[in-house]
């Protein structure tokens, strides 16, 4: 069989390993890479010879790297390459009948029905990790994959019928998904990825695919306080359960997180910061309770888990100032959540590349969240600073580009008892490679402070 692989990142490479020898391959990569396999009689490689300019993101305009991919017997494409394929092959049934994603291959291959899928705009990684950890402490073998953990095709062959799989899934991965897990979880949904999706409706429709293919025996968990989450979950014919309110897990008036008659943990004992993380905990607890009927030892997980990297991550305390890396906050809504997590006076670092989102509400939150000073960076700096000044907030610094000078300025502005918060509300392209690069450079600059 001749297999076409479109996209040679982590996912494309896992496809190559999964199918293994005995096939011929045509690999289509958007750019030259050192880790592409050498060409041979059975492996052919296509890529664009000219590398993308620094800071340029999104789908490439030169689609010559896709030439000949339709001659393959099976085409496995990475989700972000879908729209490039659509430009070249349109709605050709001849092409799309052979095309699939690694996630669909996973669902066709996996030997367990014990699958929990999590989607939402933010909080997916934290919620998925909590679900996996709470299952593990009950003695379950758990595989964590999707956008977090390992590529699904790297572990699908190891999964036994009694094992559990937890998947963190983005709108890109869900856009053409033809399967749904036994338990699907939808967190809060806000506008995101509008630089890639055609419109908000396409984004919502993609998320709904996690639920759309469920049966009446399956379970749909949703955030009832969010209209989008509710609408998405009701695409499922299965049992619907809200979280953050009964009958799912919720926070009682006395601060205890409970589900049914089960007291899980008091919110004062939770290490994770912010109201949004209490919501994530309730979503995770609801999923685990529905999965195995028990939350045994969940308190041990929730009282020790301090979060994932670049999500309200405490980097260091220096001279009475705490430095937090929240580089994963790539939307204004995520930055608003971070601002609300701290009552202390703050020096906040905001701004970055423009994804076409509004910063009006973020500017509102800055003016009422005890922010001492805002350091505004990137392509959106002028836009955000203008919004702040229009609201009477003038403690703004502009013009800084290198992370060491940004952190140095923040440290000089902060006073003992303050928080310095990197929560930009924007993507990082232009000044940094991605949110991880931005967060790592922030942490390195903070560690270097004396």
Average pLDDT, integer, range 324-340: 96
Strand 256-259 relative to strand 250-251, pairing: antiparallel
Question: Could you read off the pLDDT of 70-84 as tens digits, one per residue?
Answer: 999 999 999 989 989
Pick from 14-18, 55-59, 199-203, 318-322: least confident: 55-59
Going by pLDDT thresholds of 50, 70 and 90, the confidence category of residue 193 is: confident
Residue 259 clears pLDDT 90, i.e. is over it? yes
Going by pLDDT thresholds of 50, 70 and 90, the confidence category of residue 61 is: low
Residue 135 clears pLDDT 80, i.e. is over it? yes
Percent above pLDDT 90 for the chain: 86
Question: Could you read off the pLDDT of 227-246 as tens digits, one per residue?
Answer: 999 999 999 999 999 999 99
Average pLDDT, integer, range 397-414: 97
The confidence score (pLDDT) of residue 58 equals: 46
The confidence score (pLDDT) of residue 152 equals: 97
Average pLDDT, integer, range 113-127: 96
Cα(306)–Cα(85) distance, integer angstroms: 40
**pTM summary value:** 0.87
Asked if 148 and 128 touch (Cβ cutoff 8 Å), the reply is yes
Residue where the block lists tokens 């009422």? 368
The confidence score (pLDDT) of residue 80 equals: 85
* Structural domains in the chain, sorted by start: 2-100 (3.40.50.720), 103-302 (3.40.1190.10), 313-447 (3.90.190.20)
- DSSP-assigned letter for residue 412: H
The confidence score (pLDDT) of residue 55 equals: 43
Asked if 335 and 413 touch (Cβ cutoff 8 Å), the reply is no
Going by pLDDT thresholds of 50, 70 and 90, the confidence category of residue 429 is: confident
Percent above pLDDT 70 for the chain: 96
User: Two tokens at 249?
Assistant: 């897990």
Residue 426 clears pLDDT 50, i.e. is over it? yes
Question: Could you read off the pLDDT of 26-59 as tens digits, one per residue?
Answer: 999 988 888 999 999 999 998 875 454 444 444 4
Average pLDDT, integer, range 206-222: 98
Cα(289)–Cα(236) distance, integer angstroms: 19
Please tell me the total number of residues recorded for the chain in this structure: 450
Question: Could you read off the pLDDT of 9-27 as tens digits, one per residue?
Answer: 899 999 999 999 899 999 9
Question: Could you read off the pLDDT of 352-395 as tens digits, one per residue?
Answer: 998 888 999 999 999 999 999 999 999 999 999 999 999 999 99
Task: Quote the strand ranges of 90-228, DSSP E.
Answer: 99-100, 115-119, 142-146, 164-168, 183-186, 219-223
Question: Could you read off the pLDDT of 98-109 as tens digits, one per residue?
Answer: 999 999 999 999
């Amino acid at each position: 069989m001749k297999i076409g692989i479109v996209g040679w990142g982590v996912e494309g490479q896992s496809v190559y390993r999964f199918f293994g020898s005995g096939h011929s391959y045509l690999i289509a990569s958007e750019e030259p890479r050192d880790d592409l396999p050498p060409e041979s009689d059975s492996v052919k490689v296509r890529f664009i010879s000219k590398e993308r300019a620094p800071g340029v993101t999104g789908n490439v305009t030169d689609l010559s790297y896709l030439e000949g991919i339709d001659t393959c017997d099976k085409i496995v494409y990475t989700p972000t390459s879908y729209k490039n394929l659509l430009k070249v092959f349109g709605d050709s049934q001849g092409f799309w009948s052979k095309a699939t994603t690694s996630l669909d291959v996973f669902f066709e291959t996996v030997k367990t029905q014990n699958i929990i899928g999590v989607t939402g705009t933010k909080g997916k990684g934290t919620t998925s990790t909590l679900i996996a950890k709470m299952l593990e402490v009950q003695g379950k073998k758990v595989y964590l994959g999707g956008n977090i953990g390992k590529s699904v095709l790297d572990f699908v062959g190891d999964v036994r019928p009694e094992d559990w799989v937890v998947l963190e899934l983005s709108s890109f991965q869900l856009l053409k998904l033809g399967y749904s897990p036994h338990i699907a979880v939808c967190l809060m949904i806000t506008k995101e990825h509008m630089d890639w999706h055609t419109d908000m409706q396409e984004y919502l429709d993609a998320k709904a695919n996690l639920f759309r293919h469920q049966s009446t025996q399956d379970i749909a968990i949703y955030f009832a306080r969010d209209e989008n989450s509710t609408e998405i979950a009701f695409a499922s014919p299965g049992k619907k359960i809200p979280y953050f309110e009964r009958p799912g897990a919720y926070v009682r008036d006395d601060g205890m997180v409970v589900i049914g008659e089960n007291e899980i943990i008091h919110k004062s004992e939770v290490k994770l910061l912010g109201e949004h993380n209490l919501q994530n905990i309730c979503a995770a607890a609801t999923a685990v309770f529905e999965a195995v009927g028990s939350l045994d030892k969940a308190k041990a997980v929730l009282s020790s888990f301090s979060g994932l990297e670049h999500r309200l991550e405490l980097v260091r305390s220096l001279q009475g100032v705490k430095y937090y890396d929240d580089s994963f906050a790539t939307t204004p809504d995520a930055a608003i959540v971070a601002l609300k997590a701290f009552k202390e006076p703050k020096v906040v670092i905001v701004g970055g590349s423009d994804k076409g989102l509004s910063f009006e509400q973020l500017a509102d939150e800055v003016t009422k969240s005890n922010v001492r000073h805002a350091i505004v960076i990137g392509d959106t700096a002028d836009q955000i600073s203008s919004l702040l000044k229009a609201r009477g907030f003038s403690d703004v610094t502009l013009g800084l580009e290198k992370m060491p000078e940004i952190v140095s300025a923040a440290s000089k502005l902060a006073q003992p008892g303050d928080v310095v918060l990197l929560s930009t509300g924007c993507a990082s392209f232009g000044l940094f490679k991605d949110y991880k690069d931005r967060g790592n450079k922030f942490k390195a600059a903070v560690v270097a402070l004396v």
